[in-house]
Chains A and B, each alone.
Chain A
Amino acid sequence: MLARMSAAKKSVDLFDVKKVRQLIELMEEHDLSEIDLKQGDHGVRIKRGGEVVAVSAPNARAAHRPAAPAESAVPESAAEARMLVIKSPMVGTFYKASGPDAPSFVKVGDRIGPEKTVCIVEAMKVFNEIPAGVSGQVVAILVENGAPVEFGQPLIKVDPGA
């Protein structure tokens, strides 16, 4: 099934092999068969089980928003349906750790409680620690370190039933 995403501007280079590999991993994780990504005037479409198709044609629709990818996917299973998403309560820049050399606040697989700081969103030079607000196991970190996030943007996926 198809998921539409718009890459966060400037901090994600769609044609970086490492990123493409991460995307494929994400696709496998969420059982997606096709991903269609746009960044400015360029786009990439990846089909699982098929070939990687890079499309460089200018996109008629120039607008892109740092909107959530996984949110638009239709839940495939009961497991997917019960997933909780920690959303950004503010506008700013997402950091997964308190400093460039510090360990990440959370990793995939970690069990967390509501008080646990899961990330930092920096706005106007103020580093705001974001609490989980939910309990469960971290399933996915949905935003790149250092990427801009908007209000309501999904940051971290948590499985409450795990």
Chain B
Amino acid sequence: MFKRILIANRGEIALRVIRACRELGVETVAVFSEADRDASYLELADEAICIGPAKGADSYLRIDRVISAAEIGNVQAIHPGYGFLSENSHFAEVCRSCDIGFIGPTPEAMERVGDKNSARALAREAGVPTVPGSDGIIGSEQEAVKVARQIGFPVLLKATAGGGGKGMRVAANDLALASAWQQASAEAQAAFGNPGIYLEKYIERPRHVEIQILGDQHGNVFHLWERDCSTQRRHQKLIEESPSPRLPQATRQKMAEAAVRLAKTAGYFSAGTVEFIVDQEDKFYFIEVNARIQVEHPVSEMVTGIDLVKAQIRVAAGEKLGLEQKDIVPRGHAIECRINAEDPAANFRPCPGRIERIIIPGGFGVRWDSHATTGYSVPPHYDSLVGKLIVHQPTRREAIATMIRALHELRVEGIKTTVPIHLEILSNSAFHDSQIDTTFVERVLLSK
């Protein structure tokens, strides 16, 4: 086991990793930007090193400074968290060449699954169904029309280098395709510096269902079943839950096995998530792999009882995951609400600022993962996540009731948060009946 680890991240995930390390008896070195200097979770680390000014590009994304901090901090490994450098294969390479363990997959596996096109090719190789679409980047408008006619309208144009909904357009016919193609390309160039666009069949009212996988360095790969993340707004997840309601067991089983097959084919170990889209006929299609621990990992932890971050650290240290797939049996229902410093009444405008007072909910089956404390100022430079509220109960109905109860108990004073939108979603009858898909939030709630 490592003696000391550096956490190349901030906020709630840095705290999450510090906690796992403390339980494993591993010392921690936290890095921070000047904007995070007063964050109280830093006091829980054995050492904290300032690596730059507020801007992420000048601090948390500075590979040289993170590595320097790792050297002066005398660590054996680095946990990259999520976001920032977590899916940067060059960073993983640098760690390897500096003889510092990278707590995640190998740079090779990361690259294989990271690029969306290469991942699709990987899926085909592993016999995992993909959304019918173009074979790589579309070279011209004419090619776009040809492919679209082959796979059938409506089609979705997506940026190969992108995410978060940028560089995406839907086209219902030939005519719309021309302008959609121009727009998507331009947006992709602006957002990612890469105008490459590929085409997919547009699935109507899809559900976003992802499989959590976990592999060790001895060739063992397991799945921890699924999370349903359909409750989104503009491709940003608001609520995640497990199990995916209304997903047939046979589909769940096939998806989980497909995810494991894909991971094994890529030589992937550590934690990862294989994302799928499920259509209204319960047919599933591979979308992409997230080669990192994810924000919503607690949902899977609650239903399986497995600490994913500790598992990542153990895997990186070369330990064998002493698990058997048949023993990973999900119990009950877990829901997570992402509490962001945003104002739902003002188009989700970010609301950085000082938290005058925070009161944290508790009770049976309630978990709060957050770095926020009374007096903490949410900085404007990073994501707006204040905390994650997770509940776990024997049934979905009870989990919803507990989440509503906990959301009412939670007080975050001084800034606006997304608590009201969560309460609205959770009291919506369509949500209760599990009639959710990725268009649900915008269609039902925000169109009022």
Contacts and interface: CB of A to CB of B under 8 A. Distances in A.
Contacts of B125: none
A151 B68 CA distance: 10
Contacts of B53: 151-152
B45 A91 contact: no
Interface string A1-44: 00000000100000000000000000000000000000000000
A151 B64 contact: no
A48 interface: no
Interface in B243-293: none
Contacts of A78: none
A66 interface: yes
B46 A151 contact: no
27 contacts: A9-B47, A61-B43, A62-B46, A63-B44, A63-B46, A65-B42, A65-B47, A65-B48, A66-B49, A67-B50, A90-B64, A90-B65, A91-B51, A91-B68, A91-B69, A92-B71, A123-B65, A123-B67, A123-B71, A124-B67, A124-B68, A124-B71, A149-B72, A151-B49, A151-B50, A151-B65, A152-B53
A148 B72 CA distance: 6
Interface in A88-107: 90-93
Contacts of B98: 124
A63 B72 contact: no
B413 interface: no
B80 to A, nearest CB: 17
Interface residues on B, range: 20 to 34
Interface in A61-75: 61-67
A144 interface: no
A109 B206 CA distance: 72
A63 B34 CA distance: 17
Interface in B334-379: none
A91 B67 CA distance: 9
A137 interface: no
Contacts of A129: none
A99 to B, nearest CB: 20
A92 B48 CA distance: 14
Given A65-B47, A124-B67, 10 more contacts: A61-B43, A62-B46, A63-B42, A65-B48, A65-B50, A92-B72, A124-B98, A148-B72, A150-B49, A151-B51
Given A61-B43, A63-B42, A63-B43, A152 B50 contact: yes
Interface string B132-165: 0000000000000000000000000000000000
Interface residues on A, range: 20 to 34
Contacts of B47: 9, 63-65
Interface string B50-61: 111100000100
Contacts, number: 63
Interface of A: 9, 61-67, 90-93, 123-124, 148-153
A90 B68 contact: yes
Pick the 7 closest A-B CB pairs, nearest first. Answer: A148-B72, A91-B68, A123-B68, A150-B50, A150-B49, A65-B48, A63-B43
B49 A63 contact: no
A64 B64 CA distance: 22
Contacts of B59: 151
A91 B46 contact: no
Interface in B56-99: 59, 64-65, 67-69, 71-73, 98
Nearest to A92: B68
B68 A63 contact: no
Nearest to A89: B52
Interface string B17-59: 0000000000000000010000000111111111111000001
Nearest to B42: A63
B51 A150 contact: yes
Contacts of A93: 72
Contacts of B67: 123-124
Contacts of A150: 49-51, 69
A118 B38 CA distance: 30
A7 to B, nearest CB: 12
Contacts of A148: 49, 72-73
A9 B72 CA distance: 9
A91 B73 CA distance: 10
